């Protein structure tokens, strides 16, 4: 059994590397674009604005942080573990906000979107909005109870309409990696041609990854549903 797990793990890593390579090839600029700097989207283009950790197993990064209006308004991305627990989100947000406020003491409004990857803007774990000492924190990932409740409602009529949405579960590393490869390909296609609609983006991801349409769509739908941004409750507190 141990040997089987090692073999399966090795195959999973090789498949992930192959798909990442396929996406990288697909992202290569056309001949007319060869003079432009090209960086694969699955790698961070710039150093992190700041890094830190709430504890050893709860690190975070701040990226794409930008200030406006004389540094009174600040926005950015907070990168955290893909499997961060609900109870750990608030402490991480507080830590990030303190870092931003220290860097920009004049900031009155701060908007932070928490995501597991800088390359997946559609994958939102939480949205934090700071406004003159008051923070609204919206949760984008579900608790176990919310997962169970959501799954119970699938296929059940609600107000005369049958609910059709992905089956939710807490992703492990393999499931998250598979979903991230798809979302990275979709984001790459969107940046390459902002005019593409959802179906065209799916087709582009199929071409980039070599996966079937069904697999690509299933992964996209799950990632959007699980990392929803603000679908799973909110709270407000002073900071």
Non-local (6+) Cβ contacts of 118 within 8 A are: 44, 63, 64, 77, 79
Per DSSP, which regions of 32-162 are E strands? 50-55, 58-68, 73-79, 109-115, 126-131, 134-139, 157-158, 161-162
For residue 154, what pLDDT is reported?
Answer: 80
For residue 213, what pLDDT is reported?
Answer: 95
Name the more confident of 10 and 146: 146
Name the more confident of 87 and 30: 87
Q: Are 125 and 227 in contact (CB under 8 A)?
A: yes
Average pLDDT over residues 26-51: 49
For residue 160, what pLDDT is reported?
Answer: 60
pLDDT at residue 30 tops 50 = no
pLDDT at residue 163 tops 70 = no
Which single residue is written with the structure tokens 């041609």? Answer: 193
Tens of pLDDT along 164-200?
Answer: 778 999 999 999 999 999 999 999 999 999 999 999 9
Q: Are 227 and 141 in contact (CB under 8 A)?
A: yes
Q: Please report the domains of the chain, with CATH numbers, ordered by start residue.
A: 50-141+228-238 (3.30.70), 144-226 (no CATH)
Rounded to whole angstroms, how far apart are CA atoms 179 and 239?
Answer: 35
Give the pTM. 0.76
> What value does the mean pLDDT of the chain take?
83
For residue 192, what pLDDT is reported?
Answer: 93
Q: How confident is the model at residue 27 (pLDDT cuts 50, 70, 90)?
A: very low
pLDDT at residue 32 tops 90 = no
Please state at what angle helix 2-26 crosses helix 198-209, rounded to 10 degrees.
Answer: 120
For residue 46, what pLDDT is reported?
Answer: 75
Name the more confident of 80 and 21: 80
Tens of pLDDT along 92-105?
Answer: 999 999 999 999 99
Non-local (6+) Cβ contacts of 28 within 8 A are: 38
Q: State which of 74-83, 144-153, 155-164 shows the largest mean pLDDT.
A: 74-83
pLDDT at residue 44 tops 70 = no
Average pLDDT over residues 138-167: 82
């Amino acid at each position: 059994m141990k040997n089987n797990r090692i073999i399966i793990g090795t195959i999973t890593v090789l498949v992930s590397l192959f798909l990442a390579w396929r996406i990288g090839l697909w992202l290569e600029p056309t001949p007319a674009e060869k003079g432009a700097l090209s960086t694969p989207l699955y790698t961070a283009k710039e150093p992190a604005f700041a890094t830190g950790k709430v504890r050893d197993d709860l690190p975070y990064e701040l990226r794409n942080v930008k200030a406006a209006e004389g540094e009174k308004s600040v926005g950015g991305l907070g990168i955290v573990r893909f499997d961060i627990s609900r109870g750990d989100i608030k402490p991480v947000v507080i830590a990030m906000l303190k870092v931003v406020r220290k860097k920009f003491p004049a900031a009155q409004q701060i908007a932070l979107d928490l995501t597991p990857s800088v390359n997946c803007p559609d994958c939102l774990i939480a949205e934090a909005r700071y406004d003159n000492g008051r923070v609204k924190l919206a949760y984008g990932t579900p608790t176990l109870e919310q997962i169970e409740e959501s799954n119970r409602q699938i296929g059940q009529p609600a107000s005369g309409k049958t609910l059709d949405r992905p089956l939710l579960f807490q992703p492990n590393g393999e499931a998250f990696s598979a979903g991230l490869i798809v979302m990275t390909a979709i984001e790459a296609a969107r940046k390459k041609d902002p005019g593409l609609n959802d179906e065209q983006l799916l087709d582009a991801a199929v071409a980039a990854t070599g996966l079937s349409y069904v697999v690509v769509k299933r992964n996209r739908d799950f990632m959007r549903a699980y990392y929803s941004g603000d679908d799973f409750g909110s709270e407000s507190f002073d900071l």
